[in-house]
Amino acid sequence: MSAVAPETTTTGLREGAFGNAVALSCRECGHRIDLGPHYACPECFGPLEVAYDFPAVTREEIEAGPRNIWRYKALLPVPTDIEQSPNTEPGFTRLLKADNLARELGIDTLWVKDDSTNPTNSFKDRVVACALSAARELGATVFACPSTGNLANAVAAAGARAGIKTVVFIPSNLEQPKQVNSAIFTSNLVAVDGNYDDVNKLAQEIAAEEDGWAFVNVNVRPFYAEGSKTLGFEIAEQLGWRLPDQVVIPVASGSQLTKVDKAFQELIKLGLVEEKPYKIYGAQATGCNPVATAFKAGVDAIRPVKPDTIAKSLAIGNPADGIYVLDSARRSGGAVEEVTDDEIREAIVLLARTEGIFTETAGGTTTAVLKKLVETGQLDPTLETVIINTGHGLKTLDAVSGAVGPAATIAPSYDAFAETGIGQA
């Protein structure tokens, strides 16, 4: 895999290009290399992640920052002037106390972290904003991704606002509304005759052949992934600078879950929250359940599956961070659970009817898994719990369009309405 443009070698970086980040560190062997457009360990091919040398950081400094993810810039691989560079200003989304849903499920205290109100309506705006910063600092001239949905929207929008050329690759059979969602932002939407795996392979090929391309989820992936930590930071700050007892997070590649865990650990280490035990739960669809299967079997090896579920944004059959999800769940005393497509559909309606939040299938998966965890005794309903809603139902309308509709169709008269009985208490 080629790096980005020649002028982007580490030695060409400006001072503080990655803030308090100091190296890329291998999750497997611990080997460290300089910060740059790399994602695999040169020693063992393990995944690289960003390592930091944090200064003292106070709650007051964070609270005085902007009302978006850049309030946590000291804890991200971004320069200190990051908010001066045009970006979509994602984050600091609602943390809603979900008393109605809690009552419905028999839970004492429940919160929904609602990332459907991000700029392009999913948590991807967070990770893409961090990838964009890395691309900029590394001198990339093209900002790109392979995607079937949320990621494509986020990359195309962020690139437009930043004034960097974007190229977004999608499978050519993608439904037209989803194509519009990305094409609205970029003139370089490329439809590829093939499935998502084909598109992904093409992206890797291009990344290897072309200089100056930053593929958010390929060669700047370590920087990209750090953006998910902001979900954990915000949950803690919005709870009044403390950690919840239990958190339920959807699992696609598994990156988000491991980064929320990392965020909680960093907050503890920096003394920004009190140390306490917390349990991390992963949510998958039965139609794409490799991590849940491994968790239940008590094994470490994740056997790839061929996805077949309505939760398409979670449909990664061979999740890169699956083993780290297992580690977080087991170490913390949590679990990884799975639910069927019917349970996902029901949970989308349940969340909407109880809390006024219209989630996509990923959030339906998380909500349904929460319900199952309570019913099976794996999650303690007396402890404070947070679930993460990662995206918006407007993007997966088809999943529920058969399940909800008008209660009645009537003539335009009061008598016709009265006959329906809908007005009765």
- Which of these ranges, 184-192, 242-250, 304-312, 327-335, lies near its own copies under the rule CB under 8 A? 184-192
Residue 142 contacts its own copies per CB under 8 A? yes
86 CB-contact burial (10 Å; exposed 0-12 / middle 13-18 / buried 19+):
middle
How far, in whole angstroms, is CA 299 from its chain's centroid? 25
**Of the candidates 158, 215, 225, 211, the residue with the CA atom closest to the CA atom of residue 9:** 211
Residue 183 contacts its own copies per CB under 8 A? yes
Residue 176 contacts its own copies per CB under 8 A? yes
What is the rounded distance in angstroms from the CA atom of residue 354 to the CA atom of residue 351?
Answer: 5
Residues 168, 149 contacting (CB under 8 angstroms): no
Please list every residue from 61 through 120 that binds its own copies, using CB under 8 A. Answer: 67-68, 86, 88-89, 92, 94, 96-97, 99-100, 114, 117-120
Residues 281, 379 contacting (CB under 8 angstroms): yes
Residue 132 contacts its own copies per CB under 8 A? no
Question: What is the full DSSP assignment across 49-92?
Answer: EEEE------HHHHHTS-SSGGGGGGGTTS-TTGGGS-------
Please, what is the minimum distance in Å from the beta carbon of residue 410 to its own copies?
A: 6
- Which of these ranges, 28-36, 294-302, 310-318, 389-397, lies near its own copies under the rule CB under 8 A? 389-397
Residue 167 contacts its own copies per CB under 8 A? yes
**How many residues lie near its own copies (CB under 8 A)?**
87
Please, what is the minimum distance in Å from the beta carbon of residue 221 to its own copies?
A: 20
Q: What is the CA radius of gyration of the chain?
A: 22
What is the rounded distance in angstroms from the CA atom of residue 20 to the CA atom of residue 77?
Answer: 7
Extract the tokens encoding 352.
């909407």
Judged by CB, which is closer to its own copies: 179, or 340? 179
* From candidates 186, 219, 230, 289, binder to its own copies by CB under 8 A: 186
* From candidates 348, 373, 386, 387, binder to its own copies by CB under 8 A: 348
Please, what is the minimum distance in Å from the beta carbon of residue 230 to its own copies?
A: 15
Please list every residue from 254 through 313 that binds its own copies, using CB under 8 A. Answer: none
Residue pointed to by tokens 């309030």? 71
Q: Give the helix/strand (H/E) hosting 142.
A: strand 142-146
Residues 32-71, mask of contacts with its own copies (x by CB under 8 A): -----------------------------------xx---
Residue 407 contacts its own copies per CB under 8 A? yes
Altogether, the residues listed in the chain come to a count of 425
